[in-house]
């Protein structure tokens, strides 16, 4: 068996080396830097808790962490409901495998295109003179263009749903396709209504797909700074932007302390989710 282990280790070496240099060491450095001292122009090695004390004493930071969690919760709920509905339609209402695959492909194709371009694409629709406002005004429904369509928390949320619903659709569809159809027939024979089949048979059996999708969405939204900055026109704050603003001001120790708190928060949430599902078995 020793030789087998040696073989496995050799095969895993490139992965281990890459993750050590580009993941473990950088994260360890951030943890170290979070204890360093900074002044206006530079920062130097130290061991003090000032950065954390400042972070936890800042009402702004608390508020921003709260807002980030709130946005994550809203986006999670929306992507889950939309993603589940789409996957359910594809898996149980489209009758031929060929059409299932064609429509599934159609939902996944935007994933392969640029996120930033997909965000820019909302400007002509949601802008002050955009298509939505033009239509509403010419229909006589409003007199003044609606200002909060673009560069607002609404547009940030919309963009998240636009970009990340796919991460729900794919794993949920995948688990739904593996549900044994005879279970559904059995439920129907026993007199269950379509809705009862959905809530009592399909939903519990889709739990693992829902969990995997949720892990993706939560991780992506909690740590985002690109989407929030662009879609809010730099008006909305979240934890990622707090960090990137500090980096912009070369306040690395402060950025590192915020990063460590964000990392622990994300890992705790994802860790809790991983207890519910065994990813390795579900692939």
Partner 1 sequence: MEPRPRSFYILGGFFALFMLFLYGPTITIAILSFQGPEGGLTFPLRGVSLTWFRELFMEQAVGDIWGSFARSLTLGLMVMVTTVVVSVMAGLAFRRHFPGSTVLFYLVVGSLVIPSILVSMGIGLLFDRTGIGNHWARTAFGAQLTWTLPFGILIMFAVFNRFNPAYEEAARDQGASTWQVFAHVILPLIAPALVGVALFGFTLSYDEIARTILVSGSRNTLPLEIWGMTTNVTSPVLYALGTLTTLFSLTLVALVILTVTTIQRRRARAGSDAGKGMV
Tell me which residues in 135-164 interact with partner 1 (CB under 8 A).
162
Cα–Cα distance between 169 and 95 in angstroms, integer? 18
Find the part of the chain contacting partner 1 (CB under 8 A) among 54-62, 180-188, 202-210, 250-258. 250-258
> Which of 240, 251, 257, 277 is in the footprint of partner 1 by CB under 8 A?
240
Contact set for partner 1, span 194-233 (CB under 8 A): 194, 215-216, 219, 222-226, 230
Report if residue 98 touches partner 1, rule: CB under 8 A: no
Of the pair 48, 234, the CB lying nearest partner 1 is at 234
How far, in Å, are 83, 172, 216 from residue 208 at the CA level? 14, 8, 13
Among 44, 93, 98, 275, binds partner 1 (CB under 8 A): 93
CA 263/CA 261 separation, integer angstroms = 5
Select the residue interacting with partner 1 from 60, 70, 131, 203 (CB under 8 A).
131
End-to-end alpha-carbon separation of the chain, Å? 27
Tokens read off for 166:
């796919």
Distance CA 182, CA 201 (A): 11
Site membership for partner 1, residue 74 (CB under 8 A) = no
Tokens of 66: 């709260």
CA distance 161 to 72: 11
Please give the Cα distance from 246 to 43 (Å, whole number): 13
Among 38, 256, 257, 277, binds partner 1 (CB under 8 A): 256
Q: Which is nearer to partner 1, 19 or 183 (CB)?
A: 19
121 binds partner 1 (CB under 8 A): yes
Distance set, CA 4 to CA 13, 16, 171, 282 (Å): 14, 18, 33, 26
Q: Determine which residue in the list 37, 127, 146, 177 makes contact with partner 1, applying CB under 8 A.
A: 127
Stretch that binds partner 1, among 57-65, 72-80, 176-184, 260-268 (CB under 8 A): 260-268
Q: Do residues 264 and 55 touch, judged by C-beta distance below 8 A? A: no
Among positions 53, 60, 70, 120, the unique one binding partner 1 when judged by CB under 8 A: 120
CB neighbours (10 Å) of residue 250? 13
Least distance CB 153 / partner 1 (angstroms):
19
Nearest approach, Cβ of residue 214 and partner 1 (Å): 11
- The correct pick among 54, 74, 118, 136 for binding partner 1 (CB under 8 A) is 118
| Contact flag: residue 243 with partner 1 (CB under 8 A) | yes
Report the distance separating Cα 82 and Cα 94, nearest Å.
Answer: 17
Q: CA torsion 157→153→231→266, rounded to 10°?
A: -60
Q: Give the binding-site size for partner 1 (rule: CB under 8 A).
A: 84
């Amino acid at each position: 068996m020793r030789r087998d282990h040696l073989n496995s280790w050799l095969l895993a070496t490139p992965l281990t080396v890459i993750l050590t240099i580009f993941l473990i060491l950088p994260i360890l450095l951030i943890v170290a830097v979070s204890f360093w001292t900074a002044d206006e122009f530079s920062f130097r090695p130290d061991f003090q808790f000032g950065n954390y004390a400042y972070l936890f004493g800042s009402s702004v930071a608390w508020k921003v962490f709260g807002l980030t969690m709130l946005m994550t919760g809203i986006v999670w709920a929306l992507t889950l409901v939309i993603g589940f509905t789409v996957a359910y339609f594809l898996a149980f209402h489209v009758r031929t495998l060929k059409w299932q695959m064609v429509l599934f492909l159609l939902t996944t194709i935007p994933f392969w295109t640029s996120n930033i371009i997909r965000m820019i694409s909302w400007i002509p629709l949601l802008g002050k003179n955009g298509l939505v406002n033009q239509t509403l005004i010419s229909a006589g429904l409003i007199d003044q263009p609606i200002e909060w369509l673009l560069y607002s928390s609404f547009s940030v949320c919309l963009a998240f749903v636009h970009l990340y619903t796919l991460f729900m659709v794919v794993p949920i569809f995948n688990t739904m396709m593996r549900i044994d159809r005879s279970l559904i027939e059995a439920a129907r024979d026993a007199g269950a209504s379509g809705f009862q089949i959905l809530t009592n048979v399909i939903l519990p059996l889709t739990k693992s797909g829902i969990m995997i999708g949720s892990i993706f969405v939560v991780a992506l939204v909690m740590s985002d700074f690109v989407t929030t900055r662009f879609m809010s026109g730099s008006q909305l704050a979240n934890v990622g932007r707090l960090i990137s603003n500090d980096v912009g001001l070369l306040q690395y120790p402060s950025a590192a302390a915020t990063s460590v708190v964000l990392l622990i928060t994300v890992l705790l949430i994802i860790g809790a989710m991983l207890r519910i599902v065994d990813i390795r078995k579900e692939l």
